[in-house]
A and B are shown apart, each in its own frame.
Chain A
Amino acid sequence: MAALTPGSTGLRRALVPLGYPCPVPSDLLLEVQGLSKAYDGVHALEGVGLQIRPGEVHGLVGENGAGKSTLIKILAGNVVPDSGSVGMAGAGLNLGSVQASLDAGISVIYQELVAFLDLDAVENVFVGREIRRFGIILDRARMRERTSQVFQRLGVGVPLNVPLCDLSVAQRQLVAIARALETECRLLVMDEPTASLSNREVEVLLATVERLKTEGVSVLYVSHRLDEIVRICDSVTVLRDGRVVETMPASSVTRERLIVSMVGRQIAAQSQSAANAPGTVVLEVRGLGRDGAFEDVSFSVRAGEIVGLGGLVGAGRTEVARAIFGLDRIDSGQVLVGGRDVTNRGVLAAVASGVALVPEDRQHEGLVLPLSVKDNLLMAARERLARRGWIQRRAERTKGDELSTRLMVKAASLDVPVRSLSGGNQQKVVIGKWLAMAPRALIMDEPTRGVDVGAKEEVHSLVTRLAAEGAAVLLVSSDLPELLELSDRILVMCEGRVSGELARGEASEEALMALAVHREERAVS
């Protein structure tokens, strides 16, 4: 199976007998064996095994990109694995079919709630498997009754006749759980169920999970909130880089132990070249807030300094970057560039004051894929090179050559569409686009995501060189080693707030993760 080249999903699908029956010991509800899945040759999962007993709450933790979502999608039938098998209650699960997973009793509640906001609770619970009279007419009364029975079972009250858009996020979550229970689910997979809930709502949800457990429903509880994991799970599996690091019983689990296990590598923070003598403050952010995204974010970046912005996906890092660049409205606070206030002045003002953003999604936000490498490189500098509004082709070519040499862009020529380049080289073009205008402050959001190792090194040295040349760099990255290696200091965000700052000497993956994961007010021991 492994010999097949990546990308031939269709072929693989046809050849490999997925979901062949595998014997499951009778005391297990779910048994996952040897599950592997690669995207474009990069392993998201590699030989993952997982066992869940009936009535067990099983925690699943891991860093960003550890493979949690891929595992969930495979269980739900939305993604077909390259190899491996899943056994459910003694029978092999037919992988890659949403219906088969539902029939086997697996229900998934996704992080981004996939609810129908224009429909009410009853309809959300039953759409797709409606109860009918005479074959075609909906039996609303019975559906309503059964929905309210489920809510009673859960011990919660949710309005049944109101469209979901008028309910709170927590209530929508309860509707999703009700739907799962109504499908006679035996394994409920919850992906970051408490991410957008208030403390009180979290209590209701955790109580609901406890109740499910007493009814014999198993729960796979995926969360970054380690305190919750420690509190409600019977056992915990830690994923790292697509592999299972360990599965441990709850009795031996502590928050600290989990962090060490998630991070794994015991790399001491290597202080390479001593920080450049910091220059004047170029970029300053004071008490920045955007409703529902982040609040009270303050920091400053000096010329020649690389400041890392760490945290988990969803902590609000990208949102801060976008707000500074003028893409999103700022509700409170100020953004100063070189002492000038550019708060809410828009992208053009940000660019004019010397701010550049290398966005998270380079293909959609950073490049115009069908245009040539040269056109993309010169996009931000075109007006500067133009004379009386006319494009100067010779000057553009010289500038384009200069940039691509400096960036070591590997392309057949400057005229090929940027789409034909590899991910790493595309990223160099995105950076080069801004070099043409000599930015004073460079914001980079996940600059090496999906970039191969060699190109990654080149991007790293480029960032260091730009800082050495006097640019203020704000580096958003989920890649911890990268963050530790490049940053002079690291700000860590958690749930929309800056939860701490680490100087180069004191930064380590453990320290970073400890700041990044949610900590409950009450100490749990």
Chain B
Amino acid sequence: MTDSYLQKVLERGRELALLERAAAVPVSHAPVLRVATAALIGILMSFLPLASAGEELIPLIL
């Protein structure tokens, strides 16, 4: 058996082991959390002025 055959086996084996490790790394949810926070702020920014406008209308209605 040539030494290069063994080296090739080791190299292919190492790549598979590395991929297995990569697949086990937990996914970072940071971008998802950032998007969710931004969406929440957006919703609040849109509804707060409406809510305060509504409050001003209450005395007029009553």
State whether these chains interact.
no
Q: Which residues of A contact B (CB under 8 A)?
A: none
Q: Which residues of B contact A (CB under 8 A)?
A: none
